[in-house]
Amino acid sequence: MGAGGDTGLTGDSLSALPAVHELAGALDAPHAEAVAAARMAIDERRRALLAGEAPASDLIADAREALERLRRPSLRSVINATGVLLHTNLGRAPLPMAARDAVERVAAGYSNLELDLQAGSRGSRHAHIEAHLCGLTGAAAAIAVNNGAAAVLLATAALAGPRRPVIVSRGQLVEIGGGFRIPEVIAHSGSELVEVGTTNRTHLGDYQRALDRAGDGGGVILRVDQSNFRTLGFVEDVAIEPLCGLGAPVIDDVGSGVLAQGIVALGDEPSLRRSVAAGAALVCCSGDKLLGGPQAGLLLGTSEAVAAARLHPLARALRIDKLSLAALEATLALYRDPGRARREIPVLAMLEATEEELGARAAALRAAIGAADCELVHATAKAGGGALPLLELQGPAVALSERFDPAAVAAALRAADPPVLGRIHDGRLLLDPRTLGDDEVALVAAAVTGALSTAPE
């Protein structure tokens, strides 16, 4: 098929816009795809003409470009050069190679998801991760659901529900990303919320008095990590050990799921082991934060509490799928060798990346882009993902020249294949090597070179 000018399909005015079927007929594509691409191209041209914009290309070229967009997957791999390790918009923790291999194996065909191969009878999907979690934390039992919010919802519904009030410090009635609020979770679990203490100070006696008022039925204490913020100054809260000493069931939402030991940067985050050792009935966390695995919600603790959660009707609605379960099992297995976990789980490796390692990666990226267009600067990376909000990870980064419009370059990098995400700081686009792999440096450099060739100065 010739150019738009040869066919009359120019669409350079509203009256010249062709019918959808006419433009679709000029495309070498199945009918449904051709119609969808033609409709997109005509709609975009109509909007441009109404806005007074002159067409920059012929309509057939636009329709072909629309066809390419339609065929491109919506969910795509991107390169994270933002320096935010657990970037929620980018899928949080990247999976270790062992987890990726496990997903591929399970996705290739059938699996023993809920089959006990030894007995030949129906099994539990939780069996694939329970032994790992119990061995790593000391818990008596464990299950997994589809995300961290689901874990808290199921825990409160199973241990409290309409039978018992849920007692929470006012300083822990938090909201995390996406409008997820603790009071609303408690309400949807069917439980009554009892607030104790103040925003900045809550004492052990506040919990005790609330339990006394609950009467014979007792209450359930919910302790919530502040996750993505910290209160500083004249503050006080109650540690998990004295809370468990009150005798009531305690649900401890520790948020980020720390299992690794000996990593200095993790010192401010609550660990699963500590909460289990303290005697919490259920400990809840996410799988895709500092644990470094797939999206998942973990519940671990006493046999009785985990059984109550497992048997609750919500458990089926919130259950984890087989691919996430495969990735979670493989990630947990890495923790049996702490050194291997720190090397192979990407988020842990990023936390411990040395100045020498980061410097070499930054220098390689600068050299590939060209010293005339960028320079090495000192920058601060963040954990992100609702974890370690006060942590500042110092290191080098590559800053593009001030000659280039950072917003225009960022847009061009997002349009690259694969898309590259940096961050704008002090009027310049920064590319942080902490969240890059060595194998991604050349890809980033190629994307930047292409973006700069068309970027306005």
Q: What are the DSSP calls for 63-90, one per residue?
A: HHHHHHHHHS-SS---EE-SSBTT-GGG
Same domain? 188 vs 336: yes
* Higher-scoring residue by pLDDT: 146, 387: 146
> What pLDDT, on the 0 to 100 scale, is given for residue 139?
98
Q: How many domains does the chain have?
A: 3
Of 17, 36, 71, the domain-final residue: 71
Q: Is the pLDDT of residue 210 over 90?
A: yes
DSSP state letter for 15? G
Q: Which residues contact 118 (CB under 8 A, 6 or more apart)?
A: none
Same domain? 365 vs 416: yes
Where residue 5 falls among pLDDT bands split at 50, 70, 90? Answer: very low
C-alpha–C-alpha distance, residues 185 and 452, integer Å:
47
Please give the helix or strand (H or E) that residue 369 lies within, else none: helix 355-369
Where residue 390 falls among pLDDT bands split at 50, 70, 90? Answer: confident
Q: Which CATH number fits the domain that encloses residue 116? A: 3.40.640.10
- The predicted model gives 439-456 an average pLDDT of 92
Q: Which amino acid is at 273?
A: R
- The predicted model gives 54-58 an average pLDDT of 83
> What pLDDT, on the 0 to 100 scale, is given for residue 218?
87
> What pLDDT, on the 0 to 100 scale, is given for residue 35?
96
Where residue 231 falls among pLDDT bands split at 50, 70, 90? Answer: confident
> What pLDDT, on the 0 to 100 scale, is given for residue 298?
98
Q: Is the pLDDT of residue 206 over 50?
A: yes
Same domain? 292 vs 401: no
Q: Is the pLDDT of residue 217 over 80?
A: no
Lowest-pLDDT range, 48-52, 203-207, 225-229, 260-264?
Answer: 225-229
Same domain? 386 vs 313: no
- The predicted model gives 361-383 an average pLDDT of 96
Where residue 64 falls among pLDDT bands split at 50, 70, 90? Answer: very high
Lowest-pLDDT range, 51-55, 91-95, 270-274, 373-377?
Answer: 51-55
Share of the chain above pLDDT 70, in %: 97
Same domain? 276 vs 407: no
Q: Is the pLDDT of residue 66 over 80?
A: yes
Same domain? 303 vs 355: no
Q: Which residue has the tokens 């790992």?
A: 132
- The predicted model gives 190-197 an average pLDDT of 94
Q: Which CATH number fits the domain that encloses residue 358? A: 3.90.1150.180
- Host domain of residue 294: 97-344
Same domain? 418 vs 388: yes
Same domain? 141 vs 207: yes
C-alpha–C-alpha distance, residues 411 and 422, integer Å:
10
- The predicted model gives 143-161 an average pLDDT of 95
> What pLDDT, on the 0 to 100 scale, is given for residue 143?
98
Same domain? 37 vs 107: no
For residue range 263-315, list pLDDT tens digits in order. 999 987 899 999 999 999 999 999 999 999 999 999 999 999 999 999 999 99
Characterise 91 by phi-psi region: left (phi > 0), alpha (psi -120 to 50), beta (else).
Answer: left
- The predicted model gives 116-143 an average pLDDT of 97
Q: Is the pLDDT of residue 180 over 80?
A: no
Same domain? 222 vs 364: no
Q: Which residues contact 373 (CB under 8 A, 6 or more apart)?
A: 400, 401, 404, 448, 452
> What pLDDT, on the 0 to 100 scale, is given for residue 90?
96
Same domain? 376 vs 409: yes
> What pLDDT, on the 0 to 100 scale, is given for residue 313?
95
Lowest-pLDDT range, 11-15, 27-31, 187-191, 252-256?
Answer: 11-15
- The predicted model gives 439-449 an average pLDDT of 97
Q: What is each CA distance from 27 to 1, 8, 57, in whole angstroms? A: 8, 14, 16
Q: Is the pLDDT of residue 124 over 80?
A: yes
Q: 297-333 burial, b if ≥16 CB within 10 A, otherwise e?
A: bbbbbbeebbebbbebebbeebbbebebbbbbbbbbb
Query: Which DSSP string do the residues of 162-193 spell out, in sequence order?
Result: TTSEEEEEGGG--EEGGGEEHHHHHHHTTPEE
Question: Are 358 and 393 a contacting pair, CB within 8 Å?
Answer: no
